[in-house]
């Protein structure tokens, strides 16, 4: 079972699971109006539309799905939106998660749950150190704070109910088919297609960029270990590249290197909605505990994203583009 399956990462996850022959039940809100990857892919997942905070609806879906494992991606995932809607952000990301966990306790108590949080859960002093899983949680903006609060709530709830639950911390996930507002590559692609300047808030900020396929397969590796060796699986794990994070400017250079034009850029900071300029994770535990490391370098991740958008823009079928990238990834790197 996958929550948030109508979102960007959820759609890629369902596409991979379908390719691997899994039966998937998805629980999410309806896709946002406009371009949406899940709608484009016409996936075979059994799609149930409900609010993750709706106690009765979530319990019914879990009861009917009888999941072997649950991957919880449903969230309010945008930092800038969280400033406008802080209550909604906390409500979805914390209460929504607890609503799901209670439904699993009541209807499918043997199913392990992998809760997807964020690389922004750590108390970030902006010094550029690579965060370890045992570092202090924090978050100054509502989104980051809601995900840190989710981590704390999940652990306490799981211990109280003897439920098998772990969290996976990944962020700055790139790939074709992301059409959400206020994400770097989405904005970069729109600037390219409209031939308009690209507005940047922090061009020198660093982030651990990674392709959605690396993240999805890391989630599946973690979920598989929860199924087969719950005691040996980490209760929280960072997912990220081993190399130094790239600046926003360097990430854009890699993205636009695959296209025939790069828009002019303008810097416009937003003091009312500050963001950390330095962010990096230490992914060593994922390698030690899960045998996982990202297969695509950060430039490759950005190249693959640009190639997806470019192929789609030229009229190719998004089903074929997505399937082709999954097959290329599996052929080159395995799972």
User: Tokens for 307?
Assistant: 């190639």
Query: Is a pLDDT exceeding 70 seen at residue 288?
Result: yes
Q: What are the start-end ranges of the H helices in the chain?
A: 8-19, 37-41, 55-65, 79-84, 86-90, 96-107, 142-161, 184-194, 212-228, 248-256, 284-290, 298-313, 318-333
Q: Give the pLDDT confidence score for residue 335 in this predicted structure.
A: 67
Q: Give the pLDDT confidence score for residue 171 in this predicted structure.
A: 87
CA pseudo-torsion sign 85, 150, 287, 6 = negative
Which of 42, 22, 4, 7 is CA-nearest to residue 220? 22
For residue range 193-210, list pLDDT tens digits in order.
Answer: 999 999 999 999 999 999
The Cα–Cα gap between 20 and 208 comes to 28
For residue range 222-265, list pLDDT tens digits in order.
Answer: 999 999 999 999 999 999 999 999 999 999 999 999 999 999 99
Mean pLDDT value of segment 285-293: 97
User: Tokens for 146?
Assistant: 């809601």
Q: How many domains does the chain have?
A: 1
Give every CB contact of residue 260 below 8 A, 6+ residues apart in sequence.
none
pTM, two decimals, is: 0.97
The Cα–Cα gap between 300 and 211 comes to 8
Query: Is a pLDDT exceeding 80 seen at residue 65?
Result: yes
Q: Give the pLDDT confidence score for residue 160 in this predicted structure.
A: 98
For residue range 93-145, list pLDDT tens digits in order.
Answer: 999 999 999 999 999 999 999 999 999 999 999 888 999 999 999 999 999 99
The Cα–Cα gap between 331 and 335 comes to 9
Query: Is a pLDDT exceeding 80 seen at residue 271?
Result: no
Q: How confident is the model at residue 167 (pLDDT cuts 50, 70, 90)?
A: very high
Mean pLDDT value of segment 30-57: 94
Give every CB contact of residue 7 below 8 A, 6+ residues apart in sequence.
28, 38, 73, 74, 77
Provide the CATH number for the domain around residue 159. 3.40.50.720
Mean pLDDT value of segment 29-47: 92
Domain that holds residue 301: 2-268+277-333
Query: Is a pLDDT exceeding 80 seen at residue 291?
Result: yes
The Cα–Cα gap between 110 and 137 comes to 29
């Amino acid at each position: 079972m996958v929550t948030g399956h109508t979102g960007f990462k959820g759609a890629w996850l369902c596409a991979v699971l379908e390719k691997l022959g899994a039966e998937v039940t998805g629980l999410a809100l309806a896709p946002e109006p406009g371009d949406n990857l899940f709608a484009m892919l016409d996936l075979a997942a059994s799609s149930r539309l409900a609010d993750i905070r709706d106690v009765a609806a979530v319990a019914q879906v879990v009861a009917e799905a009888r999941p072997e494992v649950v991957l919880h991606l449903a969230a309010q995932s945008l930092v800038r939106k969280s400033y406008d809607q802080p209550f909604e952000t906390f409500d979805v990301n914390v209460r929504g998660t607890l609503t799901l966990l209670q439904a699993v306790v009541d209807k499918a108590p043997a199913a392990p749950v992998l809760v997807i949080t964020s690389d922004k859960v750590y108390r970030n002093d902006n010094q550029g150190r690579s965060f370890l899983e045992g570092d202090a949680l924090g978050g100054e903006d509502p989104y980051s704070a809601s995900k840190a609060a989710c981590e704390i709530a999940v652990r306490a709830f799981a211990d109280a109910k003897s439920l098998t639950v772990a969290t996976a911390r990944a962020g700055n996930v790139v790939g074709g088919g992301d059409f959400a507002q206020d994400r770097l590559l989405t904005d970069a692609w729109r600037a390219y297609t409209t031939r308009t300047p690209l507005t940047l808030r922090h061009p020198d900020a660093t982030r651990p960029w990674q392709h959605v396929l690396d993240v999805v397969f890391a989630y599946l590796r973690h979920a598989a270990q929860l199924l087969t060796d719950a005691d040996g699986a980490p209760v929280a794990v960072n997912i990220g590249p081993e190399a130094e994070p790239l600046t926003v400017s360097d990430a854009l250079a890699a993205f636009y290197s695959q296209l025939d034009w790069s828009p002019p850029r303008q810097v416009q900071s937003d003091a009312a909605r500050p963001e950390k300029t330095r962010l990096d994770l230490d992914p060593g535990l994922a390698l030690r505990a899960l045998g996982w490391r990202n297969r695509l370098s950060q430039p490759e991740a950005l190249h693959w994203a640009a190639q997806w958008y470019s192929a789609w823009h030229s009229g190719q079928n998004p089903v074929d583009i997505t399937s082709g990238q999954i097959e290329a990834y599996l052929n080159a790197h395995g799972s």
